[in-house]
């Protein structure tokens, strides 16, 4: 699962240097908006590189709208159910199978993501990012929805897979069948993922857990509810909970 993320908080030059691409529209209102913490259900616009326009960084809305959606009243409900796409089910789910088969893949550029640890009926958010402080390339699918004139938009979903050793310690939601994590695409595989001419089975081979050794993780302040820290730098600062730092309760 991946519902909480950090995105577009680095200087624009860092993204340009990392990906060797310019932002497609620096005048976009989304260009200046920083997400120290963004919740998927708010359907924010996040930096994305698509297979159809791989030479630029664009901004797409989180929550994929399939082309077969015709009623604008269905859009929010659909988007709430297409925030994530399980990598094991891409060819089975009606919302994802057509875009996956047609090669509409993308890289979702995140600075980090958050997952919640469950203990004694409470949840504790953890920050997960690369140790080298570089942006993270997450596998996604994208679609352009134009069924209703005046409401056209490009949207995406984040693909998830089973959690690695690190996420297995953090992501213990009792409602799920095991830990999950977004599919992080290694730098050397990014162009292959974006290549809409590769065989589907080769694309599927890239949907695997990322190595734990390159990631860092630590608890942060509450991201949701009445005590939520909000969209500011406090969301990324380490925070110690008594329940997690006791002798029996420490994760790491």
pLDDT above 80: residue 251: no
Q: From the DSSP assignment, how many helices (H) and strands (E) are in the chain?
A: 7, 13
pLDDT above 90: residue 215: yes
Query: Residue 251 falls within a domain, yes or no?
Result: no
Query: Residue 14 falls within a domain, yes or no?
Result: yes
Give residue-wise pLDDT tens across range 109-162.
999 999 999 998 999 999 999 999 999 999 999 999 988 787 789 999 999 999
Query: Residue 195 falls within a domain, yes or no?
Result: yes
Which domain range does residue 12 map to? 4-245
Query: Residue 175 falls within a domain, yes or no?
Result: yes
Query: Residue 191 falls within a domain, yes or no?
Result: yes
Query: Residue 55 falls within a domain, yes or no?
Result: yes
Report residue 246's pLDDT band, with 50, 70 and 90 as the boundaries. Answer: low
Any bridge partners for residue 108, and if so which? 48, 138
Strands 56-62 and 45-50, bridge-based pairing: antiparallel
pLDDT above 60: residue 233: yes
What's the full length of the chain, in residues?
252
pLDDT of amino acid 48: 98
Query: Residue 123 falls within a domain, yes or no?
Result: yes
pLDDT above 60: residue 249: no
pLDDT of amino acid 252: 64
How many structural domains compose the chain?
Answer: 1
Rounded to two decimals, the pTM is: 0.96
pLDDT above 70: residue 222: yes
CATH number of the domain that residue 192 is part of = 3.90.1680.10
> Using CA atoms, how far apart are residues 181 and 210, in angstroms rounded to an integer?
9
Burial class from Cβ neighbours inside 10 Å (0-12, 13-18, 19+) for residue 243 reads middle
| 128 SS3 class | strand
Give residue-wise pLDDT tens across range 34-54.
999 999 999 999 999 999 999
Q: Which helix (H) or strand (E) holds 36?
A: strand 35-39
């Amino acid at each position: 699962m991946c519902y909480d993320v950090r995105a577009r908080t680095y200087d624009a030059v860092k993204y340009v240097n990392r990906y060797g691409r310019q932002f497609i529209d620096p005048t976009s209102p989304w260009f200046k908006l920083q997400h120290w913490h963004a919740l998927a259900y708010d359907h924010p616009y996040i930096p994305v590189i698509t297979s159809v326009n791989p030479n630029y960084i664009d901004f797409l809305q989180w929550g994929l709208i399939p082309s077969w959606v015709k009623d604008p009243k269905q859009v929010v409900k659909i988007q709430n159910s297409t925030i994530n796409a399980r990598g094991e089910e891409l060819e089975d789910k009606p919302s994802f199978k057509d875009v996956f088969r047609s090669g509409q893949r993308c890289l979702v550029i995140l600075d980090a993501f958050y997952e919640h640890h469950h203990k004694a009926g409470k949840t504790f958010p953890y920050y997960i990012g690369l140790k080298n402080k570089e942006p993270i390339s997450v596998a996604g699918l994208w679609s352009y929805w134009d069924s209703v004139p005046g409401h056209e938009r490009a949207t995406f979903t984040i693909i998830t897979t089973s959690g690695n050793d690190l996420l297995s310690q953090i992501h213990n939601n009792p409602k799920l069948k095991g830990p999950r994590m977004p599919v992080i695409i290694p730098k050397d595989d990014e162009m292959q993922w974006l290549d809409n001419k590769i065989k589907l089975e080769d694309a599927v081979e890239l949907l695997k857990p990322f190595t734990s050794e390159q990631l860092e993780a630590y608890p942060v302040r509450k991201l949701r509810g009445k005590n939520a820290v909000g969209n500011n730098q406090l969301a990324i600062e380490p925070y110690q909970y008594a329940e997690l730092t006791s002798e029996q309760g420490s994760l790491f």
